[in-house]
Structure 1
Amino acid sequence: MEKQHVFDQIPDYLDGNLNKSEGSAFESHIRQCADCKKELEEMKSFFNVLDEDVPVPSDRLKAKFEAALEQEKMNQGKVVTLESKPSSNWTGNVLKIAASIALLVASFQMGSLFQQRKVDADIAQLQNETIQMKQTAMLSLMENQSASKRIQGVNYIEEFERPDEAIIQALSNRLLYDENDNVRMTAFEALVKFTSSETVKNTFIEALEQERNPSIQVAIIQALVQIQEKKAAEPMKKLLEKEDTQPFIKEQIKAVLPSIT
């Protein structure tokens, strides 16, 4: 016993797991071996520190030591493997590198997302400004003294997939009040694409009551019949009663009037 160290028996001795004979032999050795005595004292001190924070398990002191380390690991939020020998920290370094890469990628993706949103916003603003410029040009041309310019302005409707109320109203004014037959017909052809609009429907009905050009009258009648606009029946009846209404217009009205009344 004097020639051999008893390091491996220290945990069992401290935990009270040595029998009487083994305990006596252990204590006898400790009194004679400075190295084992020093190891015993150091382990006692270490276990005393653990006793302050970690409850003592009901089994072996060695198990208590491992449980204390496990608890400390959980408290610090670190993922490590408990081993009896010191281990290399390469795993932790790899995790740190992976986390750094993930953070870098996430930052890059967020930066790309924000940049894309800014680009989209800039494009949307540019598109809106372009539409406003086209609308301004269109409205300006439709007020021009030249009939050809007004027709050019009306034809600008092709640039707008969903024209707003200002454009619809401007086209309606051309159909209702323009002195040039060609401008009025062009305005009708532009408006007929948007007959779902109540403004357009009301404009056609009003135009039918005051229009004198037979070609435009026929075009308006056909459009109103196609959308089955029942409010068009009264102005059609009035045209039938007017002496100056062209005979072929009256025949057209008589043919279609039953379908909307």
Structure 2
Amino acid sequence: MKCEQYEDLFTDFINQDLSIPERENMEQHLAACPNCTAQLLAMQQLWNIMGTIETPQPSAHLQVKFNAMLNTYKQEVAEQKNGFWQTAKAGWSRLWQMQPQWPMAYNLAILVICLGGGFFYMHNSGSNNNDKQLQALNNEVHELKQTMMLSLLENPSASERIRGVSYTPEIKHADKEVIDALLATLNNDPNVNVRLSTLDALSHLANHPEVRQGLIQSISQQDSPLMQSAIADLMLKLQEKKSITQFKELLKQKNLNTTVRDKISQTIKILI
């Protein structure tokens, strides 16, 4: 077996889901392959870190609001059905009172038309109300995710702040509050891993002009070689020529990491 085939079994190996022969074969390969051993250890460490992250419990207010929305929806559906049959019954009564001389067949034809039109109206009306309810529920979920993200960004735990940043892709329409919070985290968070995670999240929002501008301004505020290198990679990926000025200012720093200096110089050449 090739290394790629063993790598596909890493997850089962960690979870102890391999058969005895497969596990023995894996252990023999790991003993002779330092690269696979290093990758397996890195994966194990990542899983251990993920295992320490607690899943947030929904608040009591969330359950109350959901139940209220659900009850309101059920009540509206019931009212629509009752209203339709009451209207149909009243129309049938008026039909017989006003036109008693019509033949039975003609009356039945009119009734069928009325019922069909009423059903069509109720179906369309119900569909519109369902769409409105779903839209309202989607908006509510979006607001909850945004609130949770903003709250986690202020958590003293770095792992919690990273978890908050990870909610960014789930927020379909990032507003100014979200963007400002992410940029503040990018520039001010004391943990470089949190800042790296935030940079990755902001890279997916680079279609927002304010995000691009914030990323460019952040270049001069980063003192970590990891962050400086990561921003250089992102600006190169975005082909953001407006970042050249900031990179040139960064090159003026006497204590700039040599590897970072070479990377930024190369980035400027490519962007020019």
TM range (shorter): 0.5 to 0.7
Given that 1:141 and 1:149 are in contact with CA atoms closer than 8 Å, whether structure 2 keeps it comes out as yes
The structure 2 residue matched to 1:214, chosen from 215, 225, 228, is 225
Question: Gaps spanning 5+ residues in structure 1: where?
Answer: 1-88
SS at match of 2:204: helix
1:202 equivalent in structure 2? 213
Given that 1:229 and 1:260 are in contact with CA atoms closer than 8 Å, whether structure 2 keeps it comes out as yes
SS at match of 1:195: coil
2:241 equivalent in structure 1? 230
- CA shift for structure 1 position 185: 0.8
Aligned: 1:188 with 2:199 = yes
CA RMSD of aligned residues (A): 1.8
SS at match of 1:242: coil
Could you tell me which amino acid in structure 1 is paired with residue 223 of structure 2?
Answer: R
- CA shift for structure 1 position 245: 0.9
Could you tell me which amino acid in structure 1 is paired with residue 181 of structure 2?
Answer: A
The structure 2 residue matched to 1:174, chosen from 168, 185, 197, is 185
Which region of structure 1 is more displaced relative to structure 2, 161-170 or 211-220?
161-170
2:46 equivalent in structure 1? none
- CA shift for structure 1 position 93: 4.5
Could you tell me which amino acid in structure 2 is paired with residue 155 of structure 1?
Answer: S
Aligned: 1:115 with 2:126 = yes
Structure 1 stretches of 4+ moved >6 Å: none
Q: Distance in 2 between matches of 1:178 and 1:186?
A: 11
Superposed, 1:70-89 pairs within 5 Å as none
1:155 equivalent in structure 2? 166
Given that 1:138 and 1:154 are in contact with CA atoms closer than 8 Å, whether structure 2 keeps it comes out as yes
Superposed, 1:43-82 pairs within 5 Å as none
1:247 equivalent in structure 2? 258
Could you tell me which amino acid in structure 2 is paired with residue 204 of structure 1?
Answer: L
- CA shift for structure 1 position 260: 2.3
Q: Distance in 2 between matches of 1:228 and 1:159?
A: 26
The structure 2 residue matched to 1:256, chosen from 227, 251, 267, is 267
Given that 1:169 and 1:199 are in contact with CA atoms closer than 8 Å, whether structure 2 keeps it comes out as no
Q: Distance in 2 between matches of 1:253 and 1:181?
A: 19
- CA shift for structure 1 position 209: 0.6
- CA shift for structure 1 position 189: 0.9
1:28-53 Cα distance to aligned partner (Å, 9 max, x none):
xxxxxxxxxxxxxxxxxxxxxxxxxx
Q: Distance in 1 between matches of 2:217 and 2:189?
A: 14
**What's the TM-score, normalizing by structure 2?**
0.59
- Percentage of matched positions with identical amino acids: 31
1:206-245 Cα distance to aligned partner (Å, 9 max, x none):
2211211111111111111222212111111112221111
Could you tell me which amino acid in structure 1 is paired with residue 141 of structure 2?
Answer: T
Could you tell me which amino acid in structure 2 is paired with residue 145 of structure 1?
Answer: P
1:133 equivalent in structure 2? 144
1:48 equivalent in structure 2? none
Aligned: 1:145 with 2:156 = yes
Count of equivalent residues: 172
